[in-house]
Amino acid sequence: MEVEVEVESPLNPSCKIMTFKPSMEEFREFNKYLAYMESKGAHRAGLAKVIPPKDWKPRQCYDDIDNLLIPAPIQQMVTGQSGLFTQYNIQKKAMTVKEFRELANSGKYCTPRYLDYEDLERKYWKNLTFVAPIYGADINGSIYDEGVHEWNIAHLNTVLDVVEEECGISIEGVNTPYLYFGMWKTTFAWHTEDMDLYSINYLHFGEPKSWYAIPPEHGKRLERLAQGFFPSSSQGCDAFLRHKMTLISPSVLKKYGIPFDKITQEAGEFMITFPYGYHAGFNHGFNCAESTNFATVRWIDYGKIAKLCTCRNDMVKISMDIFVKKFQPDRYQLWKQGKDIYTIDHTKPTPESTPEVKMWLQRRRKVRKTSRR
């Protein structure tokens, strides 16, 4: 079992981003390994890296996806100055992965020469408002090979599956996978996941992706800072950071004493974001990532109090009723009466299992066996 980080006891009090290197045996059980990561305090950073075992490959070959269609590429226009920016997306016409790659590698859009990641980061924040890059984002689907069971983004088997199972609801990119084709300077703005869920992101191939993360226990500090800097956005919506339009540079965060950490994800590595973990970042060049959301029982209390965007019709909202009923049965009546009052302890790890989760998994296996007959 390899864990790279000066492991401070107990539970990562410095809230640093941790890197994990599971053996093949440990890697096989996603939920169990996630609970192990949290037992080491990984969730306190809001973001963690997982380097899969050397022999593990989610796809044998990537040479055959040139004709895959990117139905709605977006051009990212950025305005602002002094480390505070707003990003606007303009939808472009559909293109294939091959066309996108050629564009990404063309003189206009390609990565500039750089010395090291720090140098490239400086160039990113300096040139953010100039050439508007194009992002092949939010594409439905997975490029995992069939029969890959470990850490399969389309089949993680977490408690989030009750949404589809019990309610028959499929929410694109939330309980189904999304693909992302990046180029230099394509950006994901500061946000937490829909309903403050967990997320998983695998970088299939290409240039790295740099991430910034704020510990969940300090998330409210970022919100207050953003409200102060973007007052009109804040007045228009209670949760305007969910619009994914707000960029705040690390130098501004430092200046205002907002704790954060950063890390760069290389091809073949996973990133996990944790409930209410604000994150943002950018791509170094042409690459391809796949991601989705997932949940643990620890998430349920986050989902129940997640502050949602009120100004848009297309925002994701999941009814928490089924989760409380199934996994917090002792609190269900209180919850129904609006009396389930609690304070979240961001430091507490998720349990490896609970009697309710065990029961749900057993029932699930039975149903699957019967449906196979």
> In a 3-state reduction of DSSP, which class is residue 264?
strand
Which of 41, 46, 136, 173 is labelled catalytic?
173
Strands 18-21 and 47-50: parallel
- On the CB side of 192, CA atoms within 13 Å amount to 28
Which of 46, 109, 191, 249 is labelled catalytic?
191
- Nearest to 29, CA basis, from 156, 176, 159, 207: 156
List 89's β-bridge partners, or say none: 76
CA distance 121 to 354: 43
Residue 359: phi, psi to the nearest 5? Answer: -65, -45
147 among known catalytic residues = no
How is the chain split into domains, by residue range? Answer: 2-65+122-372
pLDDT of residue 366: 82
Which of 109, 135, 180, 276 is labelled catalytic?
180
For the chain, 373 residues long, the average pLDDT of each consecutive 10-residue run is 54 97 98 98 99 98 98 99 99 99 99 98 99 98 98 97 93 97 99 99 99 99 99 96 99 99 99 99 99 98 97 93 98 97 96 96 83 59
CA distance 339 to 308: 20
Residues in the chain: 373
Which of 142, 199, 249, 291 is labelled catalytic?
291
Express each pLDDT in 191-245 by its tens digit: 999 999 999 999 999 999 999 999 999 999 999 999 999 999 999 999 999 999 9
Residue that has been written with the tokens 């007045």 in this structure: 235
pLDDT of residue 7: 46
From residue 211, give the alpha-carbon distance in Å to each of 57, 113, 158, 216. Answer: 23, 20, 25, 15
pLDDT of residue 314: 87
* Cis peptide, bond prior to residue 275, ω within 30 of zero: no
180 among known catalytic residues = yes
pLDDT of residue 3: 58
218 among known catalytic residues = no
Which of 204, 243, 279, 346 is labelled catalytic?
279
263: tokens are 């890390």
- Nearest to 216, CA basis, from 172, 139, 272: 272
2 among known catalytic residues = no
pLDDT of residue 368: 73
The CATH class of 2-65+122-372 is mainly beta
Sheet with strand 74-81: strands edge to edge: 2-4, 18-21, 47-50, 270-273, 198-206, 287-294, 178-182, 134-140, 74-81, 84-91, 246-248
Express each pLDDT in 105-129 by its tens digit: 999 999 999 999 999 999 999 999 9
Which of 41, 121, 135, 193 is labelled catalytic?
193
State how far Cα 79 lies from the chain centre. Answer: 24
Measured CA angle at 109 (ends 105, 114), to 5 deg? 85
| 78: number of Cβ within 10 Å | 19
Measured CA angle at 235 (ends 233, 241), to 5 deg? 45
279 among known catalytic residues = yes
Indicate the DSSP class of residue 122: H
Q: Which helix (H) or strand (E) holds 208?
A: none
43 among known catalytic residues = no
> In a 3-state reduction of DSSP, which class is residue 96?
strand
